[in-house]
Amino acid sequence: MTTVSAPEAAKPSRGFRLDLKTAGPLIALILLVILGYSLNPLFLGEGNVTNILTRSAFIGIIAVGATFVITAGGIDLSVGSMAAFIAGVMIIIMNWAVDAMGASLATVLFGIGCSLILGVGAGFINGFLTTKAKIEAFIVTLGTMGIYRSLVTYFADGGTLSLAGDARDIYRPVYYDSFLRIPYPVWVFIFVAIIGWILMNRTAFGRYCMAIGSNEHVARYSAIKVDRVKTWTYILQGLCVSLATIIYVPRLGSASAATGVLWELEAIAAVIIGGTMLKGGFGRVGGTIIGALILTAIGNILNLTEIISNYLNGAVQGVIIVAAVYLQRGSFRAGRKKAAE
């Protein structure tokens, strides 16, 4: 029996094990890229890479928020309809502002500001209901999911809400223009990813999320303000949804009942593929980013090749999700066995 104070001796095995876990999703992504390239070299063309990155920005940004919620032991099913709702309300507000004072940069900024407030507010409501009213997160967000979706349908009167033409012209560049040849949505994605990673791995907040997700009692006895931290994870999620919406609206300039459908599941899938545990207690922002890229790349590859029908996109994603999680659990066990030999 040795005393612990020899962490050097411990390091190799630990580093190795962690590497396996981190590397899993990354290896999957690399394999997918190789596959995509061999099926169609256009896959790695600059236009297509930019396209994949831009597309994955929506789900990716939302999934970063979801990583915190899930790590702290919660779940947010409302993000897809929340995005549609925020998009809808944002368009209504901007159209109203255009009518009142004409289209200008200020109108668009006003709309963006409202979107942020709505996101934070919606997140706070989810958080408040789960922590203070003590309703399971699954139920609360299932409820708000239905509410937002139906509100959007109601605002659009069953059809589509479209942004007024002149405002759209001003707003358009946010989706379509680039800085240093990287589109703005990708910049936002990078920014959210970095902040998210730091928050999760380098701050007390991230540690608290992990502690709450692994055992709420222990967290409470360790002087952690459990309700507050949990509420913040939902607010963060709302904020991420509103950021995603802000870069999504200029793409089509409209919102309808079909906006953001199934985004919640894609976001959760990205989180899980990335190695975060659905039951909480262990979160990886880096993995989530890779997860989002994997999901988008699959759809993209199917688009570029004739082998499998594009209609089977969902099926292929489903298989990949299940396989990814299976492999993670497998390598988890293998890692432990290796240590036990």
Partner 1 sequence: MSIAEGTTAPSILSANRISKSFGEIPVLFSVDFDIRPGEVHAIIGENGAGKSTLIKILSGIEQPTSGTIVYDGKTVTLPPNGEAEAMGIVLIHQELNLAEHLTVADSIFLGREIKKWGFLDLNEMRRRSAEILDSLHVRVDPDARISTLSVADKQMVEIAKAISRDARVLIMDEPTAVLSVGETETLFEQIRRLTARGVAVIFISHKLDEIMALAQCVTVLRDGQLIATVGTENLTPDSIAQMMVGRELSNLYPPKHEPDVDAPIVLSVRGLVAPGVKDVSFDLRRGEILGFAGLIGSGRTAVAEAIVGLTNKSAGDVSLNGQPTAFTDVAKSVDAGLAYMTKDRKGRGLLLNVGLQPNLTLLTLKKHLKNGFLDGNSEQQALERATRRFDIRARDASVRVGQLSGGNQQKLMLGKTMETEPDIIIMDEPTRGIDVGTKQQIYHIVAALAAEGKSIIVISSEMQEVIGLAHRVLVMRNGRLAGQLEGAEIVEAEIMRYAAGIKQDGDNDNRISA
What sign for the dihedral angle of Cα 70, 74, 79, 85? negative
Q: How far apart are CA 251 and CA 215, in angstroms?
A: 42
Q: Which lies closer to partner 1 via its Cβ, residue 3 or residue 38?
A: 3
What are the angstrom distances between the C-alpha of 291 and each of 10, 27, 157, 181, 263?
30, 11, 36, 24, 14
C-alpha closest to that of 244 among 107, 121, 87: 87
Give me the least distance between CB of 341 and partner 1, in Å please: 7
Alpha helices for 132-254 (secondary structure H)? 137-155, 165-171, 173-176, 184-202, 204-214, 216-221, 226-252
By C-beta, is 273 or 277 nearer to partner 1? 277
Q: Which of 7, 79, 11 is nearest to 260 (CA)?
A: 79
The distance of closest approach from Cβ of residue 206 to partner 1 in the complex, given in angstroms and rounded to an integer, is: 8
**Inter-residue contact 40 to 57 (CB < 8 Å):** no
CA distance 278 to 273: 10
Closer to partner 1 at the Cβ: 207 or 251? 207
307 touches partner 1 by CB under 8 A: no
Q: Which of 48, 50, 104, 215 binds partner 1 (CB under 8 A)?
A: 215
Please, which residue, 143 or 281, has the CB nearer to partner 1? 281
From the list 5-13, 261-269, 288-296, 326-334, the region that binds partner 1 by CB under 8 A is 5-13
**Options 220, 251, 261, 335; binder of partner 1; rule CB under 8 A:** 220
Contact region with partner 1 (CB under 8 A), list: 22-30, 37-45, 217-225, 253-261: 217-225
Q: How many residues bind partner 1 (CB under 8 A)?
A: 37
| Residues in contact with partner 1 by the rule CB under 8 A | 1-7, 9-11, 13-14, 198, 201-204, 207-208, 210-211, 214-215, 217-225, 281-282, 339-341
